[in-house]
Each structure stands twice: as structure tokens, then as C-alpha cells.
């Protein structure tokens, strides 16, 4: 088996531990390609190697219900399709795996059955159904279900249940009565490599012999892997895992993969060897489901991203340079899953260029925006500027004044000519015929409620007055969906900060004072002063806060809500709530300047010697393929917007059977039937988006100052006058630097 560099510390931010580009002439490395299936395939359920060679994939079409086994003797060769006698339309699949004989097993809830079922799809397409007998759920009044499934090299089937226990399934009956003795800890997820069961529990990672059912000696390599990166300890999203495992070619060896790459080690190794660097391909942008070996130098990874499920093939090419000859550096203050997807797309099209992503702030390091910006500025002044800068949170105006950013208007014009752009966004960034930074995405802050609430929301001050009056007229009722002080300020900052800067570029203290006064009125009107954690993103994907609030309005627990709408899924949540309540939505703020929130605003360093490569990356980020992903705001690319609308109207239209639900902190369940989205609703949103002409402030240091001081005012810890004075002084010092 080909091996590469040793595994490096995966806790590093960005790709800073990645190999450097080299032109030393060395040849040979693993390269990436997408495994192509017929267009009719919309979902891939599982992938696995067959005993004796070859691979099998289970896939289906969620609309027609058609299901296929795709089989190949060589992952790079021809795939043959065997249609199965099973419809996976209107189903929920909680686990799926390929057995050594080439059959596919899956479990879940199916349209033609009641309760949990297990289906075995034989290689000839014949389907067998089994009813899994499950232990009772401990300390919960609910039926037990299978949450994960895996099959070892001998065909033994293992499942994880709601008790956090691993059970061995009887393949003849589906009975899951035999419990694997994995200690008393709750199992978070597991993997299988040959006849090794790799269990990730609360205390770490443990390995068991699947044949004997006994624990093996500690795998020090895997234990150190988990200890170095706590994010690998738990799976927060259904059906995807931080780590995936399969057996290597040598007896007892383990291949494991995470977002940083694919690694190999055997029982005698003291470290894992990296076979595939996540820095050179799309692994980092995927949520991983499974990995399979398709040959000694061939891997298949099943993963999911915003576009759906896909299989990536990694195979060894002895003729390609061992490391790309060029290196493109990208700096971002905060990490972004969409940015990494764009890097993956770029890497596939530009295999001769290695991309390094440098992240200024992570949750782990505790670095403030001020410290991160200062460190970046030091590098820039020392002549070590990144080639591409994601300008979100950075002092863009200062960079433009100092001539640090290149004019990208030609690149923007090329994308506009090919795909079209939202002209209002492009125009907002055009200065004297030049564009020094262009956002790939943008999104609004909205208010959701009855007509008078939406009308009042046209200005933040008017909205605050409306909430104050409504609270007085409705004692004991929750007016607005309750946000902690941080959430109130974060949301209103995006709705109104475009109004704070004068034509001379200074802070308008009068407008800032009005904004703080409005924020306190809104905060004080909430009867529940809970300061729960306020989420704006999850796994580096923006989280639309308006949809959550709309669920409370729908259930009668609040009269209105306000927040961000960052995708068409969020629009559908508002439409679903509107259907039940008669409420509507509109843009929050805009009495003076109708603003949008820019996201992934991208600029190119004037001093970069990688101008051509940086321009190519910007085209990818602004392009249709990235634009067709429904996350992290709405695409500036018009063709991407059309693609998103087509896809999501199909998903959330009148024929949709999708519903989502959640449980709040009090244990109350709430949910939506997602079937209200149509072209008319999408066009109406587009018209509202087209009316937004000014970007909100994005300087993270200014926001940190305003938020920190604003919280003290909202909580009654400081006076309005003292807070405004402190903000003015701190921002003046920052701008002077």
C-alpha cells in the first residue's frame, strides 16, 4: 500500500499543518474524482467492498422510489445496475451497510410498514424483510430503534440503539437481543475494520474482536487521535460521523478517515501514516458516512454536503506530482463549510495548485477579533499577505485606502456575463468603477408576525416601540420570541448598522444611541430573561434564526419573531408557520438604508504573485456550482439562485412529505410540514432581496466593542451615556491604529 506523510495535529486551525507546494520533481500521490451515477439517482445510502474483490453501492431516487444496487469489479471501471424490488420513497433510513456477499442491509421506517424494519437487498435485487426485536429503552417512554448499522468482514451485523448499546443482529431473523459487552458507558458511534469493532464512547475509543466479542489491547494510535481532537468524540448529525473506518490490505490493519484526510496504521505502528491529505481535495467539505477500499490503492468515501450525497474516489496516480507545484493561501477570520466546498471544487479543477486556508479565530483558541486582525495586519505589513482574503470581519475600507486589495471588477463582470448577478449587491461594492471585494452570498434580517408587526419592523426604532406597546397591552404574554442579550444585539446590529456611518466615514453617535435604546426596549419587553446560548452557525454553516422563532409563533408561544433568513429552507419554515397563523414576513429595518448582510466577501491581495490562481478561485466561489448550494445565505450568482430555487421548490413543494421537528429546553416538541414553497414565494423573496442596497457593517472589531458594551447596557450594568462614550473611545482608538 502506498503511504504518505505522517499524521499531523488535526487541532490546528485551517490547513496550516499541510505540506508545502514543491517543484522538486517527485511523482506519485492519491488524486480525487467523483464517482458518477445516472442522473436519476438522488440519494446514495451505503458503499462497501465485496469479499474477493469489487464494490457495491446502494442508491435510490427519493421521488420515484426506485432503488438500485450498483456493482463494479473496479471502482474506476464500469458500474452495472440491479434494480431492487423496494421503494425508498417516504422512508426514514437510520442505518445501511454492504455485506461481504454484496448484499445491502438497511434499517428504518418504510412507507409500507409500521415501526422499525430491516431490509436485506440481495445482489439479484430480491428483498427480504425482517422485524428487529429490540431491548426496551432505559428511562424513556419510547420504542427502541436502530441508530447505526455496520457489518464486519465475516458478515456479522452490529447495530447501535437508543440506549447507547451495541447489539449483534441475527441475520436470519433480524433479532437484536445479543449485547456486545462494551462496558457501561454510552456508545456515541462505532466503526468496523475487518473483524475489529471500533467503539467511540464517553471515555474515548476502544477496539473489540467481533468474532470473540472481547476487548483487544488499547490502540494507542487511535486513542491519541481522539485525545488530540475532542470534536471526533461525538456524532451530532444523524447518519454522518467525524471518523469512519475500514480494514486495510494487511491483516489487522485499520484505515480511518476524517476531514483532514485518509490514514493507515497496523498493530505495530506508533503513528498513522497519511495516505490522502484533506488539504488537497474535498474531504474537508464533506460530512462523512462511510469509507471502503476498492483496491490496494483505491478508496471510496461516501459523504454528504449541501448538494446531497456523493462518493469520492481516491486512487494513486504515479505520474502526478507528489505535491502541487503552486500554493494559494486563503485567509478567513472564521471558518466556513461553504468556503471549504469551494476550495474542493477549485482543487479538482486545478490539481497543480495547493490551497492553504488560514483561520484567524476558532472556538478552541479564544482569540478575539481584535487580536486576529492585528496579527493579520502584522503579516501584511511584513510582506506576507495571503493571496485571497475573505473580508468578512476585516477592516475593508482601511485595506482599500492603503491599496492592499486588487480591483476584481473584471472577474465580477465575467461571472455576470456568464451567469448574471444580483445587480444591487454588485453595485453596493462598486467604487469609481472598481470592485475591491465581492460577497458570494448575502441574506436579510426579517420580522415575522401579523401585518402591523411587519409594518412596524420597517425601522428598528419603530419596531422597538411596537413591541413595547404590545407588551403593555398583553400582560403575561410573550411578544417577541425571546432572545438573550447577545442575540438581540447580534440580530439588530445586522439590521441597522448600515445607518451608523456618516458620509465622512465617522460613527453617528445619535443613530447609535437610538439603536441602543431600541435594543433595550426589545430586550426588556421579554418576560423570560433566559440567557441561554445563542447559536448563529452549526458546524461552520450559518444558522437562520428566524425559522426557530417562527415555530414559537406557530405554537402560540410568541406573537412575533425576528432574525436572519439564510436559505430557502428557512423561507419554507416561515411559509409553513404563516400557513397556520396568517402571519407574514418582511425586511427588518430599512427606514433609511435597506441593508443586507454580506457573506464570504472576497478580495485578492495586490501584492500576491498568484493573481491568475486567485482570480480562478474567486470565479469558483462566485460561480454557478457554488451558487447552487442552499446554505450560508443566498447566492449573488443569478444562475445559482435559479438552480437553488428549482431544487428546493421540488424538495419543499406541494408534493413534499418532509417534516422537521425539534424539542426545546422545556421538552416541548414542535415541528413543520415542509410543503409550501413555490415559484411565486421564491420570486417574492427575490424581489425583496433586490431592494436591499447597502451592506451592513462587517468589521468584527467594531461589532465586538458594540456588543460587549451593549450587553452591559441591556442588563442594567451601565448607563446609556457611559456605554456610548466607551464605544466612541474604543472605536476611535481602533480606527486610529
Residue 90 belongs to a domain with what CATH number?
2.120.10.30
Task: Tell me what pLDDT residue 661 has.
Answer: 62
**What average pLDDT does this structure show over 586-594?**
87
Same domain, 143 and 105: yes
Closest C-alpha among 279, 701, 268 to residue 507: 701
Tell me if 541 is assigned to some domain. yes
Domain-located, residue 309: yes
Whether 7 and 255 have beta carbons less than 8 Å apart is answered as no
Residue 2 lies in a domain: no
User: Residue 669 has what pLDDT?
Assistant: 61
Asked if residue 17 belongs to a domain, the reply is: no
Written as nine digits, the cell of 237 is 448529525
Percent of the residues in the chain that have a pLDDT greater than 70, as a whole number? 94
Q: At what angle do helices 700-714 and 720-736 cross, to 10 degrees?
A: 170
Confidence of residue 24 (pLDDT cuts 50, 70, 90): low
Do 495 and 625 fall within a single domain? no
What b/e string do you get for 412-432 counting C-beta neighbours within 10 Å, with b at 16 or more? Answer: beebbeebbbbebbbebbeee
> Do 116 and 130 meet the contact criterion of CB atoms below 8 Å apart?
no
* Short-list 645, 676, 644, 646, CA closest to 660: 676
- Write out the three cell numbers for 601: 466577501
Is it the case that residue 717 has pLDDT exceeding 60?
Answer: yes
Pick from 138, 151, 246, 237: nearest CA to 186: 138
User: Average pLDDT, stretch 41-59?
Assistant: 95
Contacts of 561 (CB under 8 A, 6+ apart): 447, 448, 449, 480, 481, 546, 548, 549, 550, 552, 553
Q: 215 is in which domain, residue-wise? A: 27-323
Residues 631 and 646 grouped into a single domain: no
| Domain CATH code at residue 360 | 3.40.190.10
State mean pLDDT over 385-408. Answer: 95
Higher pLDDT: 448 or 185? It is: 448
**Is residue 89 a part of any domain in this protein?**
yes
Q: From CA 515, how far away is CA 493, in angstroms rounded?
A: 9
Task: List beta partners, residue 116.
Answer: 109
The share of the chain scoring above pLDDT 90, in percent, equals: 65
pLDDT of residue 14 exceeding 60: no
412 and 503 housed in the same domain = no
Q: Summarize pLDDT for 452-483 with one digit per residue, the tens.
A: 999 999 999 999 999 999 999 998 888 998 88
Of 584, 611, 639, the residue at which a domain comes to its end is: 639
| Span 289-329, pLDDT tens digits | 999 999 888 999 999 987 789 999 999 888 887 777 889 99
Q: Which residue has the cell 433480524?
A: 174
- List the single range of 113-127, 274-288, 713-727 with lowest mean pLDDT: 274-288
Does residue 667 register a pLDDT over 80? no
Query: In the structure, what pLDDT confidence band is assigned to residue 651 with cuts at 50, 70 and 90?
Result: confident
Q: How many CB atoms lie within 10 A of CB 184?
A: 9
Q: Quote the pLDDT of residue 52.
A: 87
CA distances to 187, 285, 365, 557 from 361, in Å: 31, 19, 7, 36
pLDDT of residue 172: 93
Least Cα distance to 356 among 331, 373, 322, 336 occurs for: 331
Q: What is the largest CA-CA distance in the chain?
A: 78
User: 452 with 545, same domain?
Assistant: yes
| pLDDT higher than 50, residue 679 | yes
Reported as a pLDDT band with limits 50, 70 and 90, residue 664 is low
Handedness of CA 331, 336, 342, 345 (dihedral sign): positive
| Assigned domain for 275 exists | yes
Domain boundary among 301, 323, 345: 323
Q: Mean of the per-residue pLDDT values for the chain?
A: 89
Predicted confidence band of residue 349 (pLDDT cuts 50, 70, 90): confident
Residues 122 and 225 in one domain: yes
Total-model pTM? 0.83
pLDDT of residue 13: 34
Say what the pLDDT of residue 614 is: 97
Give domain status of residue 11, yes or no: no
- Verify that 663 and 624 share a domain, yes or no: no
Residues contacting 290, CB < 8 A, separation 6+: 46, 47, 48, 97, 244, 246, 301, 302
Cell numbers that stand for 164 in this block: 447507547
Residue 97 included in any domain = yes
Contact 610, 387 (CB under 8 A): yes
Same domain, 202 and 56: yes
- Residue 523 shares a structural domain with residue 399: no
CB–CB of 286/259 below 8 Å?
yes
First vs last C-alpha separation in the chain: 54
- Are residues 370 and 358 part of one domain? yes
Number of domains in the chain: 3
Average pLDDT over residues 400-419: 96
Q: Do 391 and 449 belong together in one domain? A: no
pLDDT at 578: 94
In the listed set 639, 669, 689, which residue is the last one of a domain according to the structure? 639
Task: Using alpha carbons, list the distances in angstroms from residue 496 to 489, 591, 654.
Answer: 10, 9, 36
Q: Output the pLDDT for position 9.
A: 34
Residue recorded with cell 469489487:
54
From residue 549, alpha-carbon distances to 239, 464, 523, 560, 562 in Å are 27, 17, 15, 8, 7
557 and 668 both lie in a single domain: yes
Q: What is the pLDDT of residue 486?
A: 92
Strand order in 157-161's β-sheet?
146-151, 157-161, 166-169, 178-179
Amino acid at each position: 500500500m502506498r503511504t504518505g506523510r505522517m499524521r499531523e495535529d488535526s487541532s490546528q486551525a485551517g490547513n496550516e499543518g499541510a505540506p508545502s507546494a514543491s517543484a522538486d520533481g517527485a511523482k506519485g500521490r492519491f488524486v480525487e474524482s467523483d464517482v458518477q451515477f445516472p442522473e436519476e439517482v438522488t440519494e446514495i445510502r451505503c458503499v462497501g467492498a465485496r469479499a474477493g474483490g469489487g464494490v457495491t453501492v446502494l442508491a435510490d431516487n427519493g421521488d420515484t422510489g426506485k432503488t438500485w444496487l450498483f456493482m463494479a469489479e473496479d471502482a474506476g471501471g464500469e458500474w452495472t445496475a440491479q434494480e431492487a424490488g423496494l421503494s425508498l420513497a417516504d422512508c426514514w433510513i437510520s442505518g445501511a451497510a454492504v455485506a461481504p456477499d454484496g448484499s445491502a442491509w438497511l434499517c428504518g421506517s418504510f412507507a409500507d410498514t409500521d415501526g422499525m424494519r430491516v431490509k436485506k437487498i440481495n445482489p439479484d435485487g430480491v428483498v427480504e424483510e425482517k422485524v428487529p426485536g429490540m431491548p426496551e429503552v432505559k428511562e424513556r417512554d419510547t420504542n427502541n430503534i436502530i441508530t447505526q448499522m455496520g457489518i464486519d468482514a465475516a458478515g456479522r451485523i452490529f447495530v447501535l440503539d437508543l440506549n447507547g448499546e451495541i447489539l449483534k443482529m441475527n441475520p436470519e431473523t433480524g433479532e437484536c437481543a445479543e449485547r456486545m459487552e462494551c462496558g457501561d458507558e454510552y456508545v456515541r458511534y462505532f466503526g468496523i475494520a475487518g473483524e475489529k469493532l471500533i467503539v467511540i464512547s464517553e471515555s474515548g475509543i476502544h477496539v473489540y474482536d467481533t468474532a470473540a466479542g472481547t476487548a483487544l489491547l488499547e490502540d494507542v494510535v487511535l486513542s491519541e487521535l481522539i485525545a488530540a481532537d475532542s470534536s471526533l468524540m461525538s456524532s451530532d448529525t444523524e447518519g454522518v460521523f467525524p471518523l469512519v473506518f475500514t480494514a486495510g490490505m494487511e491483516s489487522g490493519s485499520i484505515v480511518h478517515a476524517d476531514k483532514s484526510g485518509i490514514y493507515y496504521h497496523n498493530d505495530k505502528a506508533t503513528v498513522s501514516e497519511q495516505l490522502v491529505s484533506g488539504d488537497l481535495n474535498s474531504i474537508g467539505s464533506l460530512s462523512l458516512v462511510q469509507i471502503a477500499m476498492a483496491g490496494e490503492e483505491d478508496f471510496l468515501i461516501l459523504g454528504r454536503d449541501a448538494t446531497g450525497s456523493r462518493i469520492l474516489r481516491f486512487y494513486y496516480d504515479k505520474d502526478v506530482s507528489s505535491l502541487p507545484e503552486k500554493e494559494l493561501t486563503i485567509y478567513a477570520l472564521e471558518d466556513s463549510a461553504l468556503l471549504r466546498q469551494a476550495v474542493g471544487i477549485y482543487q479538482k479543477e486545478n490539481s497543480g495548485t495547493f490551497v492553504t486556508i488560514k483561520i484567524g479565530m476558532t472556538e478552541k483558541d479564544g482569540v478575539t477579533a481584535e487580536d486576529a486582525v492585528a496579527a493579520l495586519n502584522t503579516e501584511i505589513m511584513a510582506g506576507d499577505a495571503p493571496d485571497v482574503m475573505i473580508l468578512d470581519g476585516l477592516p475593508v475600507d482601511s485595506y482599500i485606502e492603503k491599496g492592499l486589495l486588487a480591483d476584481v471588477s473584471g472577474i465580477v463582470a465575467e461571472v455576470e456575463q456568464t451567469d448574471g448577478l444580483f445587480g444591487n449587491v454588485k453595485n453596493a461594492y462598486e467604487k469609481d468603477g472598481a470592485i475591491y471585494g465581492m460577497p458570494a452570498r448575502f441574506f436579510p434580517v426579517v420580522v415575522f408576525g401579523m401585518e402591523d408587526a411587519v409594518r412596524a419592523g420597517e425601522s428598528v426604532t419603530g419596531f422597538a416601540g411596537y413591541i413595547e406597546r404590545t407588551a403593555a397591552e398583553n400582560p403575561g404574554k410573550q411578544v417577541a420570541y425571546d432572545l438573550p442579550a447577545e442575540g438581540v444585539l447580534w440580530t439588530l446590529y445586522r439590521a441597522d448598522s448600515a445607518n451608523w456611518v456618516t458620509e465622512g466615514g465617522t460613527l453617528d453617535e445619535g443613530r447609535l444611541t437610538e439603536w441602543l435604546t431600541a435594543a433595550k426596549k426589545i430586550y426588556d419587553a421579554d418576560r423570560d430573561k433566559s440567557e441561554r446560548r445563542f447559536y448563529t452557525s452549526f458546524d461552520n454553516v450559518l444558522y437562520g434564526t428566524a425559522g426557530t422563532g417562527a415555530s414559537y409563533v406557530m405554537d402560540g408561544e410568541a406573537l412575533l419573531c425576528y432574525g436572519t433568513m439564510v436559505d430557502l429552507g428557512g423561507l419554507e419554515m416561515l411559509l409553513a408557520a404563516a400557513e397556520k397563523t396568517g402571519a407574514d414576513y418582511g425586511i427588518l429595518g430599512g427606514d433609511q438604508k435597506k441593508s443586507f448582510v454580506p457573506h464570504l466577501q472576497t478580495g485578492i491581495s495586490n501584492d500576491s504573485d498568484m493573481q491568475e490562481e486567485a482570480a480562478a478561485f474567486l470565479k469558483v466561489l462566485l460561480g454557478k456550482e457554488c451558487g447552487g448550494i442552499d446554505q450560508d445565505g443566498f447566492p449573488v450568482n443569478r444562475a445559482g439562485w435559479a438552480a437553488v430555487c428549482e431544487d428546493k421548490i421540488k424538495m419543499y413543494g406541494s408534493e413534499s412529505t418532509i417534516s422537521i421537528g425539534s424539542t426545546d429546553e422545556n421538552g416541548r416538541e414542535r415541528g413543520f410540514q415542509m410543503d409550501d414553497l413555490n415559484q411565486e414565494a421564491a420570486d417574492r423573496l427575490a424581489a425583496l432581496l433586490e431592494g436591499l442596497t447597502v451592506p451592513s457593517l462587517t468589521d468584527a472589531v467594531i461589532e465586538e466593542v458594540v456588543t460587549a458594551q451593549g450587553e452591559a447596557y441591556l442588563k442594567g450594568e451601565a448607563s446609556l451615556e457611559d456605554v456610548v462614550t466607551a464605544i466612541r473611545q474604543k472605536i476611535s482608538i481602533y480606527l486610529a491604529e
